[in-house]
Structure formats: C-alpha cells, structure tokens
Chain A
Amino acid sequence: MAEFNETDQTPTVDPKTPNLGDSTTSSQPKPEQITTIDVAVPIPDVGPQLQVVVEEFILKSGSDDEEVRTAATNELRDFIEHEEIGITTLLVVVKYAHEVKNVDLLDAFCERVADLIKDKKVVEVREIFGIVNDFTPGEEQALRYEHPWAFED
C-alpha cells in the first residue's frame, strides 16, 4: 500500500499555534485559559489542516460549558466525515488521542476507523489498513476449520 504521509515538511505559521507554545512553557494550566494539560503534548505531523482541527478540539473539549463541548464534537465529526484523512494519518491521530487520554477525540476517530471496517471482507480490511497476515497457514487452517463461512466470497 503506497500511502505517502501528507505532511507539510515546512513549519507552519499558524495564529493558533501560540496556544500550544503557551502551555508547553508553563507546567501549571493558567486558570483563565481553557487549556488542558493535553495540549502540552505536541501533536505529531498530521498535516496543517488536521492539526488545527485537533488543537481546537482539544481546547474546547476542556471547557466547562457542555454546549461548547458538544459543538466541538459535532464540528470534529463533520470534519472527519467530509475530509479525506489518509490511513496513515488516521493511525497517527488515533494513537495521539489515546496517548493524551482525550476520550472524545479518540472516540471520534475510532468511529471513522469503524466505518472503514464495516461490511468489508477480511482481505479488503487488510488492504485498506496495510496489515500483513501473521497467521501461519496451520493457524489459518484452524480458524477456517472453526468457521469456514468467514472466508466465503
């Protein structure tokens, strides 16, 4: 699977990035900001657009206002639905969300992964995710013996 990472190698000058900078320099979250400790962990290269979306989401998801959080989730889901996120990038952002323990962020992207799995055959899923089958022929045979229907076309 030739999926080239769609990262922009040059650093971006992004008006929102200063927030990231702020929280990495201070160890205590400032009370007047809605910065969460999460943003202290830098987001890996996921492309400038997605980076902005994720950063914004993390900030808003830390809000005390439920409406703000709900709106943020809806915005994120909208973005995920309408923008093509490459499979490699998806892996990066899923791992990141897990690492920073942002439940809502992880949830939104796991939903996307689930959508990619639904109604697909084994070989199709392997192709989409670039997964190598590491079952030995013997092991596969055992699985097949138990439920041959999984391999029906």
Chain B
Amino acid sequence: MEEEAIIRKWEDLDIDVLVKIYQKIDIFDLTSGVAEICKTWHHAACDPMLWHTLDLSVMSSNYIRTPLEPYVYVDGPSDEKLTKILKISLNLSRGSIKTLIFNINLYVHDEQLTYTAERCPNLKRLVLPAWNRIKKTGICKAIKMWKDLESLTMPSIETPLYFMEEVSKNCKNFSELKIMGPCDIFLVNTLIRCVPNLKVLSLRCSVVYLDALILILDGLKKLNVLNISHCIIVDAPPPDATIKVVTKLDDSVLEKGSRLSEFLTCMDDECIMCQRTRADEGLLRWYRYEQGLWKQDEVKSLAV
C-alpha cells in the first residue's frame, strides 16, 4: 500500500513532540518503562525539559507513628518504591534537576538522600520537610554535594548549628529558607552567624519567640522578605514572669518590619490557619488537614 511508504513510524517522531507528550504523564508513568520502549523514546525521556523539577509530593510513605525515635516506621515495600522511582528519575535526569520536592509524609532515609544528592549536583531548591529518618551525617554529606543550593524548606531541628555550618561552608548562593517549626533565639543566632546574607525567611504557622523576631529584624541585614503569618508570637520574659502570647505587634517591631520589602503577618482570630496553629500548639499537624495544605506559603517562591 502506498500509505506505508508515507507513514512514518512512532519511533521517528520528533523529540520535541515526544517531550511534549511526556510532560502530560505523571512521574510514575514516566519511570515505569516509557524510557525502555525504544532508543528515540529513551532519548526523549532524558530531555532536560522534563527534569528541571522532580516533584515527589505525590508520593507518601506507608508508615506508622512510633513512640520512640525516629517516631515513624516505614514499611519495606514503601521504601523500595521510593528507591525505584529515585533511581530511574535520577538516571534519566542526568543532572538536570534544579528543584527537588519531597512530600511532608515521605520519610526519606540517609541512603536515599545521599544517593539522590550525588546525582543532582546542580540542585538549587530543596523541599525536604521530613527528617525523621535522616541522621546528622546523612544530611551533612548531602549538603556538601549541593554547592548551588539557594533555597531550602526544612523542619525545625533541635541543634541547627552543625547543619547551618555546613550550609555556610558549601552553599555560597544560599538565600532562601523556610523552617516548619518553632523559632527561638538560638536558631536566629545560628542564622545570623551562618547565613548572614539570607534574603527570604518563612516561619509561618509556628511558634516564634518575640526576642527571636526582633533579632531577625535587627540581625539579618540582607533580609528582604519575612513571613510570620499565622504564627504564635510568644513573649518569654525572665523566669519569674509568666509566658505571654503576643496578640498585636507593637510599633517598634512594625517599624523594623517596614524596612523589609515584604513583612507578612497574620494574627487574626477569624483566620483558620491562625486557629489551627493555636489548636496544634504551634506545631501544625498537617496530616489532620487538607492534603497539600503544607505546600502553601504567602511567599510565592516558597510555595510548592
């Protein structure tokens, strides 16, 4: 038949078109064999356009909470599934990944983290909200491989100094930080010491101590954007006085805040996020609420 001569095969389809098609399938389909079909389809699956961002916020670990550290247990198949997706994605992406997003209940362990860090050396933005199964050695090893890191979303950790020192040594362009947890004076001192050029900071939906807030405004000289929306601001004066929740920021704080290009606050009894932060005593239980709620941020560059 004449048509057969004119009919070109799907193997010969333009790479651009294949990439366009691949952009319409999810990460699970992209990593479950599309790259094995034939050589041109494999070539298209490695296109950098597909891999600027690896968004694994669609994956969750199958886990149970436990009473002892690390406070979660993740089952074997769930871990294996993540390892598989990581291996194939990192293989196909060939170092193109600039933004990497993990879900709030995707509990990555050290090996997975290191494996990943080795294979995306050009990473600029990391969203890693769950560190339960990550050890100090693991995160430090990973940070050393991310020299271009600019933006990080992380949980609050007990002793941030060891970690921020590594950031300070390795990540010369680091400028944006979101901490999903309480902020006290020790944390702020650490930030001033280790990342003095910080431009953007989000602490939304957590407890922020008043002295820490003032120090942020005074001490982080390059700060442009500060988000303390829905936070419980706590004034903790000397030991014998009682702890007070600040309901309204006073003029001196507002004046300092006005020097920033964006000073985002929300302290509103009617606001649902403010209510939830209070109900959860400053440590939001994201699993109780709408899926994906944790991804929001009033700062556009930090929203997922």
Contact = CB atoms under 8 A, between A and B. Distances in A.
Given A88-B7, A126-B37, A146-B87, A114 B25 contact: yes
B91 A91 contact: no
A7 B4 CA distance: 13
Contacts of B136: none
A149 B3 CA distance: 38
Contacts of A151: 33, 36
Given A114-B24, A146-B87, A135 B38 contact: yes
Given A91-B10, A98-B14, A130-B9, A110 B24 contact: yes
Contacts of B33: 120-122, 125, 150-151
A106 B13 CA distance: 13
A70 B93 CA distance: 34
Contacts of A114: 21-22, 24-25
Chain A at the B interface: SS class? helix
Interface residues of B, number: 32
Given A88-B7, A117-B29, A125-B33, A131 B21 contact: no
B75 interface: no
A106 B17 contact: yes
B29 A119 contact: yes
Interface in A73-115: 87-88, 91-92, 94-95, 98, 106-107, 110-111, 113-114
Given A131-B37, A146-B87, 19 more contacts: A4-B1, A5-B3, A45-B3, A91-B7, A92-B7, A95-B14, A95-B17, A106-B17, A106-B20, A117-B29, A122-B36, A125-B33, A126-B37, A130-B10, A131-B11, A132-B11, A132-B38, A134-B11, A140-B36
Interface of B: 1, 3, 6-11, 13-14, 16-17, 20-22, 24-25, 29, 31-39, 41, 84, 87-88, 91
